[in-house]
Amino acid sequence: MKGEIVQLTDERAKPLLDKDVIVEVSKEEATDLPEDFPGRQYLYDFTIDDLKGMDAEMLQDIKGIGKASANAIVEYFKPAE
């Protein structure tokens, strides 16, 4: 399925890469977070849905996310007024 992200061993991926069945992407390309998302470089293991349910305190438990970034993430999900 186009757009599906999977992890394969090098051995399994090589023949598929050679036949252009799959393409290799970097972690930056694999995330569903927008490029301008606060603290994006620390959040590759999370999806938008994961982050929506977190408050600032929970976000600060993520390595690399400080108080300012956590507050910016919470603010990102607030509805526009």
Mean pLDDT, consecutive 10-residue segments, the chain of 81 residues? 66 88 71 85 88 94 96 91 70
Residue 4 lies in a domain: no
Residue 3 lies in a domain: no
Residue 13 CB-half CA count within 13 A? 10
| Cβ count near 23 (within 10 Å) | 8
Residue 2 lies in a domain: no
| DSSP single-letter state for residue 42 | G
Tell me the residue range of the domain where 45 lies: 10-77
49's torsion region: left (phi>0), alpha (psi -120 to 50) or beta?
Answer: alpha
Residue 5 lies in a domain: no
Q: 0.75 exceeded by the pTM?
A: no
